[in-house]
Structure 1
Amino acid sequence: MINVRQFEWTDFDAVTAVWEATGRDVVTRPELEAKLTRDPELFLVAASDDEVAGVVLGTYDGRRGWILRLAVHPGHRRKGIASQLVKELEDRFERIGCPRVNLLVMPDNEAGLRFWRALGYLPYPDVLCSKPLRSGV
């Protein structure tokens, strides 16, 4: 049985392993420490028998919620874990008064786009602009 709960620091190595197994960049401890000072209740793990099977990182800026870094370990896919993580995160967004949730999907990620559309997320024609700051280099 999968239990979706808030991230704890004892999960860090397991979460890192999930990100690595799925080819995602790993969020470093200092980055997570900064994130967790704002909204720790929006960083969730899906665990089964003390094994982290999936993770999602949510954030809320006071205007919009963002879903970041949804990942399920390849050995645990096709079991509804990603949907469970998203549902719990959406519930938490609603409880804090978040009116809209955004996320980014690479345009060539057809499976990802199908997944998000099935959950009611619609693509927008926005253009992502990004600028690294010296502190983030």
Structure 2
Amino acid sequence: MSDLRIRRASFSDIDAVLRFWREAAEGTSISDDHDGVAGLIARDPEALLLATRDGALAGTVIAGFDGWRCSAYRLAVHPGHRRQGVATALLRAAEQRFAALGGRRVDAMVLEANEQAHHTWAATGYHREDHWRRWVKPL
């Protein structure tokens, strides 16, 4: 695991991240395009964390903090790198970022049908809160 490197994404990573999400992530987001990711990096340059191994993208997580809530999005690990501690390392880095910013609790959006993700989140100390539901409105 010592060859795994966690770093923040830059504008030059956008196209690779979008390709990676098409291959490794479950579901899609309305913001899964160049402008969406560029806007994230411009707004919060340290939010999109990348895990690389031997120069290749192995995983991602968005560690967003709005001054009130810590939110984890787009935790994705390449199929060839799963069950090797990549998700754990990404979440640890996200949690360290949140703690340094004064965050108190992490909220994660996890697809209901993604059973594999449920196991990953549970194994890293997260639990499901069934009394909340997400409400959305596209702009």
TM-score bracket for this pair, using the shorter chain length: 0.7 to 0.9
Moved over 3 A (4+): none
Query: Which residue of the partner structure matches residue 66 of structure 2?
Result: 61
Taking structure 2 as the reference length, the TM-score comes to 0.87
> What's the CA shift for 1:31?
1.2
Indicate if the aligned counterparts of 2:61 and 2:91 stay in contact, CA closer than 8 A.
yes
How many residues align structurally?
Answer: 133
Q: 1:25 aligns with which of 20, 23, 28?
A: 28
Unpaired segments of 5 or more residues in structure 2?
none
Q: Which moved more, 1:97-106 or 1:30-39?
A: 30-39
Indicate if the aligned counterparts of 1:42 and 1:58 stay in contact, CA closer than 8 A.
yes
> What's the CA shift for 1:72?
1.0
Indicate if the aligned counterparts of 1:14 and 1:51 stay in contact, CA closer than 8 A.
no
> What's the CA shift for 1:120?
1.4
Taking structure 1 as the reference length, the TM-score comes to 0.88
Q: Which moved more, 1:20-29 or 1:105-114?
A: 20-29
Query: Which residue of the partner structure matches residue 133 of structure 2?
Result: 127
> What's the CA shift for 1:99?
1.3
Q: Could you say what secondary structure the match of 1:41 adopts?
A: coil
Unpaired segments of 5 or more residues in structure 1?
none
> What's the CA shift for 1:132?
1.0
RMSD value over aligned CA atoms? Answer: 1.6
